[in-house]
């Protein structure tokens, strides 16, 4: 039986890296997209030969993305079993400090790129009639936070879209779910801590909000994504899974 084929955006580092590794551990062959070409190359070098096919692209650049998507579709040769829309960016800004350029960039990467990648790959997913799409939401799609209003809006859009897409694609045998990570110990989160007057105190304050008493690890998210993409989740669709150490349960 041929290996399943997956596409993962934002594959080079953090959560995307963990998702890629978790899928490959299940025997899936991954086509990974990221703007960090060196990171993709390093990831590919650490994996079994041919397990990862890398594509360097900034998903905020529509022209470049269209070119890469055409190449990706050609390389997939008519079949895609799993799509993980993981790529995302964040900026802490108050509403009054969020200009149109920042707002557009956040929506372009966090939501519109996922929509456009899905649209391009949909004929291949439909052809298999057994596909799975996993979208990366956030705890901030479920709760609010000061200075995250634009980011919250992009992730809220992702979760709402997930539910609609699950209904639309169910007749084609395609399941669509979202994962909503809480605070995950990635470079992105550490950069946010570093903007505080006391980064160590900011880190401890975040941990204090988590019933499990620790920050999440990228592998925690990778494991849930791999489950949702697998046949073990064959009756799961239209759901938004908080993976947040209990933070949103308070």
Of 63, 5, 65, 4, which Cα lies nearest the Cα of 33?
A: 65
Report helix, strand or coil for 88: coil
**H/E stretch holding 68:** helix 62-76
| Catalytic status, residue 151 | yes
Name 133's bridge partners. Answer: 83, 176
Cβ pair 148, 92 in contact under 8 A: yes
Which residue among the candidates 55, 111, 148, 151 is catalytic per the annotation?
Answer: 151
* SS3 call for 196: coil
- Report the DSSP beta bridge partners of residue 184: 216
Q: Which tokens sit at 225? A: 């994504």
**Residues sharing a CB contact under 8 Å with residue 38, sequence separation 6 or more, in sequence order:** none
Just list the catalytic residues.
151
């Amino acid at each position: 039986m041929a290996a399943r084929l997956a596409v993962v955006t934002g594959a080079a580092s953090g959560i995307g890296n963990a998702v890629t590794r978790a899928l490959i551990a299940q025997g899936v062959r991954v086509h990974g997209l990221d703007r960090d070409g060196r990171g993709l190359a390093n990831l590919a070098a650490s994996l079994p030969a041919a397990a990862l096919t890398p594509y360097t692209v900034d998903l905020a650049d529509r022209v470049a993305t269209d070119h890469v998507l055409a190449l990706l579709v050609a390389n997939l040769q008519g079949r895609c079993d799993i799509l993980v829309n993981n790529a995302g960016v964040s900026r802490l800004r108050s509403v009054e400090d969020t200009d149109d350029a920042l707002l557009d960039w956040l929506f372009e990467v966090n939501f519109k790129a996922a929509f456009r990648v899905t649209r391009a790959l949909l004929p291949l997913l439909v052809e298999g009639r057994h596909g799975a799409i996993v979208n990366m939401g956030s705890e901030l799609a479920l709760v609010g936070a000061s200075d995250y209003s634009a980011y919250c809006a992009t992730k809220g859009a992702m979760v709402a879209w997930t539910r609609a897409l699950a209904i639309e694609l169910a007749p084609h045998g395609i399941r669509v779910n979202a994962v909503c990570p809480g605070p995950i110990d990635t470079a992105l989160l550490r950069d946010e801590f570093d903007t505080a007057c006391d980064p160590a105190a900011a880190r401890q304050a975040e941990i204090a909000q988590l019933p499990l008493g620790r920050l999440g690890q990228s592998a925690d998210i990778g494991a849930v994504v791999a489950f949702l993409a697998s046949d073990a989740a064959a009756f799961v669709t239209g759901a938004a899974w908080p993976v947040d150490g209990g933070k949103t349960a308070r």
